[in-house]
Amino acid sequence: MVVSGINHGLNLGDDITYSGTVAAALEGVILGLPALAVSQQSRTGGMGFAPGEDFDFAVAARFAARIVEEVEDVPLPTGTLINVNVPAEVGGIEVVGLGKRIYRDELQLDEDDGGSRRRYWVYGTEPGYHDVPGTDLNALAAGKISVTPLHYDLTAEAGLAALRAHDLDRLLEPATRDILS
């Protein structure tokens, strides 16, 4: 079994696509191994990555150990990993889906050499989130451990039908003609 983490900060909502903790667990799933990604909220209660802050990993470590002991008894579909986020103060547990964050990042030009090189800073405040029941963000805000099954197949099944109904064949001839001419 692959156990990735315990990460400083949280792997929540649509932000999991940037999580190295989730990515490492996903590699295990791709190799056919059961996998677990575990992250811990800082004692200050932030909803994002927070290095250098005060963390207590005791509950997260004990909870992860219990999942490892029992994961073979859980009938998860092949290719599924378990993503766990542990709040600073635990008041329960909830199996949930992914939530949606609200980013407030800004882009600021830091250095411009007058030519082709520019350096920018991307910064922002703590992201907000849509407070929707049944999501990881909502569970964490309520002090609950969020447990979310994640699958590596990102195919949008509804999108397959829409694209198949669209005449994409008509795009092939102009595309190949442009390349060959």
Task: Please state the separation of Cα 125 from the chain's center in Å.
Answer: 19
pLDDT confidence tier of residue 108, bands split at 50, 70 and 90:
confident
Q: Report the C-alpha gap between 178 and 93 in whole angstroms.
A: 56
pLDDT reported for residue 10: 81
Mean pLDDT of 86-108: 89
